[in-house]
Amino acid sequence: MTARKWRAAGLLTGMVVAAATIAAPQAQAHESHHDRARVVGYFTQWGIYGRNYNVRDLVTSGTAARLTHLNYAFGFLDEQGKCVSADAWADYQKPFAAEQSVDGVADAPGQALAGNLNQLRKLKKKYPDLRVYISLGGWSGSKYFSNAALTPQSRADHVKSCIDQWIKGDVAGPGVAAGIFDGIDLDWEWPGSPANDGNVIRPEDKGNFTELVKEYRKQLDRLPRRQHGDLTAFLPANPNQIDKGFEVSKVFRYLTFGTLQGYDYHGSWESTTNAQSSLRTPKGDPTPAPGFSSETVVDDYLKRGAPRDKLVLGVPFFGRGWTGVTNANHGLFQTATGPAPATYEAGTEDYKVLKSKVGQYKIYRDERAGHAWLFDGSTFWTYDDPTEMRRKARYVNDRDLGGVMIWSLDADTADGELIKALARELSC
């Protein structure tokens, strides 16, 4: 499988001193204590454009009240591996009118901070327990991660630049955006494996990633306000990408938690329809055993030494689709002629749009494997609806996992149908 996202997605083992073993430093528990499992959602920087999805919509939809963590996607890296804004207008320049603002107050001309970051500051004031992270990289922003991680000096310089830009708030001017971000989410796609065209890849990326998270942990723990020291990472579903890029048991010693790719198991880059986010491998799946499923992803990380309570399972608020599909087996595991037409990108559609197609399509469901799809005789969409979201939340509860992660919040309905289904089922 080519596991990918559509968006745009050296540990010390101890030293013996005077015959005593000194353990390597662990990730500090900077997270606020919550009464329920983590609910981590990605807010896309560019959603304010075509989708007209603003930070305020997190409030009006009821989404913000159900989140424990919000990842702001994305910050980029330059060729030297330093952190930079991917879109200054969206991040801190765009003025929002009163009706677009979290608190109903319009941005004033010449104010020091505008854009999404100012709205995030207002959101945190309204929801003080919400932890907000800057997510670095993504599918189209991981080109220079390998450069950043290459040497001790490049790692130190990269981490310092990212902490200065995003945690200390220098991205919009010295200290202007301070106090908005509580941590950093690393979304390097992928160490040691090809992903987006043009990415720099090196065989030593795997060990260098471990050294990079170690450097992050060291510098974050030096911050005066220790609660601003969370560190997370987005991790792939494909076992080949895991083994080429991640020393799992070592990396998790420095992470607050890790989010697992719980989607894009299949998509229109393949010629045969299949489930993009099934909970278990479906019967009859033509993919070589054991196939791809959320259960296999979780088990792969547990086998490699990841702590159960630090595994946060990704769930999609979007679907994958094919057209020209053979009319057999309700469209499942059938050949197709290409990606299904869609609003923004062929083969990919928001849940809120797919929900509106239910009257035109018939919905099918595999209760054992845990996935749903739509089929009209020629076009096939694999997606998660509230029923499947509740099923995945129960799975997270049953396996004592650390929570769920959502890509991405702008694809939900205006009243937050999917996140409500998730939050209702997660353990309290």
The residues annotated with a catalytic role in the active site are 189
**Residue with structure tokens 């990326």?**
205
User: Contact at 8 Å (CB) between 373 and 329?
Assistant: no
Quick check: bond before 290 cis, omega within 30? yes
Separation between Cα atoms, residue 189 and residue 86, nearest integer Å = 16
In 3D space, the residue among 428, 394, 406 whose CA is nearest the CA of residue 63 turns out to be: 406
User: Contact at 8 Å (CB) between 182 and 132?
Assistant: yes
Cα diameter, the chain: 73
Backbone angles phi, psi at 109, to 5 degrees: -55, 130
- Rounded to whole angstroms, what are the CA distances from 400 to 60, 151, 232, 406? 31, 37, 19, 18
The b/e string for 268-293 (b: 16+ C-beta within 10 A; e otherwise) is beeebbbbbbbbbbbeebebeeebbb
In 3D space, the residue among 322, 212, 297, 206 whose CA is nearest the CA of residue 3 turns out to be: 297
Structure tokens at 245: 């890029």
Q: Backbone dihedral region of 207: left (phi > 0), alpha (psi from -120 to 50 degrees) or beta?
A: alpha
Dihedral of the alpha carbons of 417, 423, 425, 428, in degrees to the nearest 10: -160
**Residue with structure tokens 């800057």?**
134
User: Contact at 8 Å (CB) between 16 and 235?
Assistant: no
User: Contact at 8 Å (CB) between 385 and 293?
Assistant: no
